[in-house]
Structure 1
Amino acid sequence: MQQISNAAQLGQAVRAARKQAGLTQAQVALTAGVGLRFVVDLEAGKPTAQIGKILQVITTLGGRLRLDGWPTPAEGGQR
Structure 2
Amino acid sequence: MKVVVTSSADIGNAVRRARKAAGLTQDVLSAAAGVGPRFVVELEGGKSSLQLDKVLAVLSVLKLSVTVCDDAEA
TM-score (norm 2): 0.91
Structure 2 segments unaligned to the other structure (5+ residues) = none
Residues matched between the structures, number: 70
Match of 1:2, SS state, is coil
Distance 1:46 1:22 in 2: 23
Q: How do residues 1-79 of structure 1 correspond to structure 2 at under 5 angstroms? A: 1-69=2-70
* Counterpart AA for 1:41: E
* Aligned-pair CA distance for 1:68: 1.2
The structure, 1 or 2, with the larger RCO (C-alpha pairs under 8 Å, 6+ apart) is 2
In 1, Cα distance between equivalents of 2:59 and 2:46: 14
Cα offset for 1:59?
0.4
Q: What SS does the aligned partner of 1:58 have?
A: helix
CA deviations 1:1-50 (Å, max 9, x no partner) are 21011011110010000000000000000000000000000000000111
Structure 1 distance, partners of 2:8, 2:35, is: 18
Aligned equivalents of 2:38 and 2:62: distance in 1? 17
Looking at structure 2, the residues matched to 53 and 44 of structure 1 have their Cα atoms a distance apart, in angstroms, of 15
State the Cα RMSD in Å: 1.1
Larger Cα-atom Rg: 1
- Separation (CA, whole Å) in 2 of partners of 1:69 and 1:58: 22
